[in-house]
Homo-oligomer: A and B are copies of this chain.
Amino acid sequence: MTMICGKHAQGKCVHDQIFEANAQAVAAAAKFGKDNVINATIGSIQDENEKLVCLPTVEKVFKGLPMNEIAAYAPISGIVEYLDLVQEATFGKFRPQGVYTAAVATSGGCGGIHHAIWNYMDEGDTALCGDWFWGTYRIICEDLLRKLTTYKMFDDDLKFNFEGLEAKIKELLAKQDRLLYILNTPGHNPTGFSISEGDFAKVLDILKRQSAAFGKPITLLLDVAYIDFSGDKDEVRKFFKQLENLPSNIFTVICYAMSKGFTMYGQRTGAMIGCSTDEAVVKEFAEINQYTSRATWSNINRACQKTLITIYKDPALLEAIEAERAEYYAMLKKRADLFTEEAKACGLRMIPYVAGFFMSIPTSKSKEVCEELKKEQVYCVALAAGVRVAICGVCLPKIKGLAKKIKDAMDKVGA
């Protein structure tokens, strides 16, 4: 075969565990009947009738848009009103004060992570995140000729592992000029972990200490994709206030997604928000990411941006969408509470779940466990650090007994 593609591109191939496991579950449901299959692979909310949820307010607003707002291009960086209101959607009452911020529209949350990994790392550098992580972080790093390494996210008592984090930061800053640290909170994928305000302060202390010690900048990428289904809207946003007190060599990029918060996965719209005490850093953020947007996708879905603008400008619509989010958050919480209770009862050890779409079971034999579960028509996702259970996609009656099934499968394979 002629080597047509570039050297760096040769042999790239996605084996997406999540899409593959989902395809198997869908096939099983067709064969054995939907009621006999538990599909805990999908990262989108299915209601108690196992139908994909689209928030009614989003549907009403989107379907009501005039056609020219759907057909026309948006500006490269995003519609000006969107760039303001998406910050309101992200920060709520806790928009950091006394600092500079700017937003750039992105293709979902993923697009902002792409831009940050491209623009805030040098080629060959290594990004850092916890050992429970969304696998796409690694794919983005590798496609862009960067690397990803992890620290053990939890200590033996399943508390946040500050020492592990600090050691890895020191190791990386010793050998490269800058560091990108990715923290997915609240409602972390795949564990449902949300960092507490106190723990977040400690993380920031580590970043400040090591950035100062090495005299090198750190970019903190906060992936908040799940923030709108992670609990009380104010409580989950309080930690943003801590971004007010950072030195200028700590730069924060927040990646927000309409995929989850507006249940508009397929419309590919989100934003990256830069936040710094240094105005020049935020100006540069807006410029270099606009440039990368022009060079990547030209511009972002106008209709979806207009949907957010329409809702966030209208108090009645905003109230309605917040009520809908609260309703589905409560639905997720019921599922999580039942699973947690049953896990405890049967002795299944879980990563401490706070909120979000997923729960995780630590094991080094995740593949074997998932294969064993398939025999019972239960489909989960095998990650390096354990098994991911997408409670967002499993109705309450099917949650019942699920923890025990997983415990049994683990016992069978000796996990």
Interface residues of A (CB under 8 A from B): 1-10, 12-14, 16, 19, 44, 51-52, 54, 58-59, 62-63, 67-76, 107-108, 110-111, 114, 118-123, 125, 136, 139-140, 142-144, 177-178, 217, 219, 248-249, 251, 259, 263-268, 276, 278, 280-281, 284-285, 287-288, 290-292, 294-303
Q: How far is the CA of A298 from the CA of B125 in the complex (A)?
A: 22
Chain B residues lying within 8 Å of A287, measured Cβ to Cβ, are: 12-14
Contact between B67 and A44 (Cβ–Cβ < 8 Å)?
Answer: no
Q: Which 7 A-B pairs have the closest CB atoms?
A: A266-B302, A143-B295, A107-B297, A110-B298, A12-B291, A1-B280, A54-B71
Given A9-B119, A54-B68: 9 more A-B contacts, CB < 8 Å = A3-B217, A4-B120, A5-B120, A13-B288, A16-B76, A44-B72, A111-B297, A266-B302, A268-B298
Chain B residues lying within 8 Å of A12, measured Cβ to Cβ, are: 287-288, 291-292
Contact between A284 and B123 (Cβ–Cβ < 8 Å)?
Answer: no
Q: How far is the CA of A10 from the CA of B70 in the complex (A)?
A: 34
Chain B residues lying within 8 Å of A118, measured Cβ to Cβ, are: 6, 9
Which of A71, A123, A143 has the most B CB atoms < 10 Å from its CB?
A: A71
Q: How far is the CA of A46 from the CA of B58 in the complex (A)?
A: 29
Contact between B6 and A120 (Cβ–Cβ < 8 Å)?
Answer: yes
Chain B residues lying within 8 Å of A303, measured Cβ to Cβ, are: 266-267
Q: Which of B76, B219, B296 contacts A14 (CB 8 A)?
A: B76
Q: Which of B4, B67, B177 contacts A249 (CB 8 A)?
A: B4
Q: How far is the CA of A9 from the CA of B177 in the complex (A)?
A: 14
Q: What distance in Å separates the Cβ of A213 from its nearest Cβ neighbour in chain B? A: 15
7 pairs of residues in contact across A and B, judged by CB atoms under 8 Å? A6-B121, A6-B125, A7-B177, A62-B70, A73-B265, A142-B295, A266-B299
Chain B residues lying within 8 Å of A5, measured Cβ to Cβ, are: 119-120, 284-285, 288
Q: Which of B8, B59, B72, B288 contacts A123 (CB 8 A)?
A: B8
Q: How far is the CA of A63 from the CA of B68 in the complex (A)?
A: 12
Contact between B266 and A114 (Cβ–Cβ < 8 Å)?
Answer: no
Q: Which of B7, B52, B144, B267 contacts A295 (CB 8 A)?
A: B144
Q: How far is the CA of A292 from the CA of B114 in the complex (A)?
A: 10
Q: Which of B16, B67, B291 contacts A143 (CB 8 A)?
A: B291
Chain B residues lying within 8 Å of A263, measured Cβ to Cβ, are: 71
Chain B residues lying within 8 Å of A74, measured Cβ to Cβ, are: 266
Chain B residues lying within 8 Å of A177, measured Cβ to Cβ, are: 7
- Closest-by-CB residue of B relative to A138 is B295
Which of A6, A219, A299 has the most B CB atoms < 10 Å from its CB?
A: A6
Q: How far is the CA of A290 from the CA of B21 in the complex (A)?
A: 18
Which of A70, A265, A300, A301 has the most B CB atoms < 10 Å from its CB?
A: A70
Contact between A295 and B73 (Cβ–Cβ < 8 Å)?
Answer: no
Contact between B297 and A178 (Cβ–Cβ < 8 Å)?
Answer: no
Contact between B296 and A111 (Cβ–Cβ < 8 Å)?
Answer: yes
Contact between A294 and B119 (Cβ–Cβ < 8 Å)?
Answer: no
Contact between A266 and B297 (Cβ–Cβ < 8 Å)?
Answer: no
Chain B residues lying within 8 Å of A140, measured Cβ to Cβ, are: 295-296
Contact between B59 and A44 (Cβ–Cβ < 8 Å)?
Answer: no
Q: Which of B1, B14, B142, B251 contacts A281 (CB 8 A)?
A: B1
Contact between B4 and A284 (Cβ–Cβ < 8 Å)?
Answer: yes
Q: How far is the CA of A8 from the CA of B108 in the complex (A)?
A: 25
Chain B residues lying within 8 Å of A58, measured Cβ to Cβ, are: 71
- Closest-by-CB residue of B relative to A143 is B295
Q: What distance in Å separates the Cβ of A8 from its nearest Cβ neighbour in chain B? A: 7
Contact between A70 and B111 (Cβ–Cβ < 8 Å)?
Answer: no
Q: How far is the CA of A151 from the CA of B249 in the complex (A)?
A: 44
- Closest-by-CB residue of B relative to A219 is B4
- Closest-by-CB residue of B relative to A306 is B266
Given A139-B295, A297-B107, A301-B266, A76:B19 Cβ within 8 A: yes
